[in-house]
Amino acid sequence: MPSVQLLLNAMRTAKQGVQVNVGKDSDEYKEIVTTLSIHSKDMEALGVSDGDSVRVESEFGEAEFRCKQAKVPEGMVFVPYGPPTCKLMGGNTDGTGMPTSKGWMVNVEPILN
């Protein structure tokens, strides 16, 4: 199973903000926070297609996401903040109250069904 090292950036989306009002237990919210936006060439290197699942592993933990081909820089992936990204974050906040959430080098590998 191929594994690729990519730069992960967590972020908030407008759609995610709207869904917070509906509730974090809704299927729509869960779909938003488990979607990983990835460049087509990185998908090819992993051997995955739109909708396939991948495991993302940081030095602090791992989480599963569903791939979505997007207009993002090659070598970089984006995921909305949520419970899965919390599994990837460390606890150090450097006094800011928020752990570092951008620019993590992570290993990404396909999950075979």
User: What CATH code is carried by the domain that includes residue 22?
Assistant: 2.40.40.20
The pLDDT of residue 96: 66
The separation between CA 51 and the C-alpha centre of its own chain, rounded to angstroms, equals: 13
Is the pLDDT reported for residue 52 higher than 90?
yes
Question: Does the pLDDT of residue 51 top 90, yes or no?
Answer: yes
Helix, strand counts (H, E) of the chain:
4, 6
Phi-psi region of 94 (alpha: psi -120 to 50; beta: other; left: phi over 0): left
Q: What is the pLDDT of residue 100?
A: 64
Task: Tell me the pLDDT band of 101, cut-offs 50, 70 and 90.
Answer: low
Question: Residue 33 is part of which domain span?
Answer: 4-110
For 86, other C-beta atoms within 10 Å of its C-beta total 15
Comparing 61 with 17, the larger pLDDT belongs to: 61
Q: How far apart are CA 42 and CA 96, in angstroms?
A: 33
User: Number of folded domains in the chain?
Assistant: 1
Which pTM value belongs to this model? 0.84
